[in-house]
Amino acid sequence: MHIRDFELDDLPRADKRSHWLAIAARDGGGYWRLPLLTDIGAEDGPTLLTIAGVHGDEYEGIAAIPQVFRAIEPRALRGRLVMAPICNIPAFDAARRGSPIDGHNLARVFPGDINGEITEQIVAWLCRKLLPQADFLIDLHTGGLACELPLLIGYIHDDGDLGQASLAAAEAFGAPVMWGHPLPLRSWPRVSAGDGIAHITQFAQPR
């Protein structure tokens, strides 16, 4: 299925499944496919979107998402858990931070372009199909192959509702380092800038 035809609202309740959604055409035929894991609770509730692999060499979030997916029991869930473990599929395929095809840093091309280069197409579809469904977004990053980072969490530092929701989630996560970003968000984290979605960005590095 192409992601244009994917509708989260069409999935049944108390349902857990994995999807491979065609998202951008590959040179030589076929598509780059976005893996997506959905847990739809038995009861209505908020939607948590979690993404990883925005940078293709940051593996901890990519590995953590399937573990959470296996542990969740949708019949005991209120709301929806939607997880995209590898957003930057061409970069992951090449074990690189950015795309080897168009050179873009996926985190810097929001809101993307449906007719643009591959990274811009991926972002445009994320913005059209997943972000509007989310009440809250968690964006998982790490130091990748190049850096070593402390465990830290970035959040929106603001007195408004968005900032307070982001702060509460950051505190609940319990990371030893918190990194507040005042509005308007200018560079990182751009994933939900301007979308009105409270979010946190977790950076982690294995010991």
Residues that bind Zn ion (CB under 5 A): 55, 58, 141
d(CA 39, CA 65): 12
Q: Shortest distance, CB of residue 179 to Zn ion, whole angstroms?
A: 13
Q: Shortest distance, CB of residue 141 to Zn ion, whole angstroms?
A: 3
Are the C-beta atoms of residues 64 and 86 closer than 8 Å to each other? no
CB nearer to Zn ion: pick between 74 and 144? 144
Beta strands of the chain (E only): which ranges?
Answer: 15-25, 31-40, 43-51, 78-84, 136-142, 152-157, 177-182, 198-204
Q: Shortest distance, CB of residue 91 to Zn ion, whole angstroms?
A: 10
CB nearer to Zn ion: pick between 58 and 158? 58
d(CA 70, CA 49): 16
Q: Shortest distance, CB of residue 52 to Zn ion, whole angstroms?
A: 9
3-state SS, residue 44: strand
Alpha helices for the chain (secondary structure H): 59-71, 89-93, 118-125, 161-173
CB nearer to Zn ion: pick between 39 and 57? 57
CB nearer to Zn ion: pick between 74 and 189? 189
CB nearer to Zn ion: pick between 131 and 191? 191
Q: Shortest distance, CB of residue 35 to Zn ion, whole angstroms?
A: 17
Strand partners, 46: none
